Amino acid sequence: MKHIPRKRFGQNFLTDPAIIRACVEAIQPAPDDRMVEIGPGLGALTQPLLKTLKHLHAVELDRDIVAWLQAHYPPEKITLHNVDALKFDFATLGDRIRVVGNLPYNISTPLLFHLLDNVDHVIDMHFMLQKEVVERMVAKPCSAAYGRLSVMLQYRLQMEYLFTVPPQAFEPPPKVESAFVRAVPYPVLPSQARDEQLLGKVVTAAFAQRRKTLRNTLKGWLDDADFRELEIDPQLRAENLAVEHFVAIANHLAGR
């Protein structure tokens, strides 16, 4: 199929056989896995995955690509969901699903947060993303890449940067390097927030002006007495706090 990649869909098709093989080896599909691929494109990952999987679900917005996939794969092998992944309810696929994909870079961050809403149904996730985004996903405290995305993902997920992918591995080549990442939900959360929505609000507020101290960014949330009780220095910045510190702040506020 001669398909002209559509910029509005963020389409960059993976074509490098060695990278494709490395992705599949990292995913390690098993025949009975309940797996869903986001953005299958022209089947770079779909085809090798289906050599092992009995069945695959695929979420694809581009109707031309859906038609091409329907012509190449029988319905008993693949179920196609012609819908925006940001609006797809992954929970409808059941429990213990595995999620994979070369994610559209233009919606990667909101899509990751959408998947967090469905993470109770997920065994693991393997994604190709912009390298800068993956660096933020796995970043540790006190680093420039550490921020809201790092905290909210690492609260629920064990993150692992797998390997870097050059632009030449895609058609058309993106202007940036990419990376392949693994995310596995914690069976038991290391730190449990009483109110996860409140946790999200606290993290968002703390990183809204990341160069300012916590005393300024969390003004109205915490006063000096709160900081003393939490044993957190209010002169620190959000990037200096680990995930468990944000959970402690949220639980302190929830206990009021």
Using CA atoms, how far apart are residues 36 and 115, in angstroms rounded to an integer? 12
Amino acid 63 reads R
| Residue spans of alpha helices (H) in 125-185 | 131-138, 148-156
pLDDT of residue 212: 97
Using CA atoms, how far apart are residues 85 and 125, in angstroms rounded to an integer? 14
Using CA atoms, how far apart are residues 212 and 4, in angstroms rounded to an integer? 45
**What are the pLDDT digits (tens) for 200-254?**
999 999 999 999 999 999 999 999 999 999 999 999 999 999 999 999 999 999 9
pLDDT of residue 77: 97
pLDDT of residue 40: 94
pLDDT of residue 104: 82
- To the nearest whole number, what is the mean pLDDT of the chain? 94
Domain boundaries, the chain: 7-185, 196-254
Query: 45-54 long-range contacts, Cβ below 8 Å, gap at least 24?
Result: 45/14, 45/20, 45/100, 45/101, 45/102, 46/73, 46/78, 48/20, 48/21, 48/24, 49/24, 49/100, 50/77, 50/78, 53/29
pTM: 0.92
- Tell me the angle at which helices 131-138 and 148-156 cross, rounded to the nearest 10 degrees: 60
Give the pair of three-digit tokens for residue 142.
């006190």
Class of the domain covering 196-254: mainly alpha
CATH of 7-185, one of 1.10.10.10, 3.40.1010.10, 3.40.50.150, 3.40.50.1370: 3.40.50.150
pLDDT band at 1 (very low <50, low <70, confident <90, very high): very low
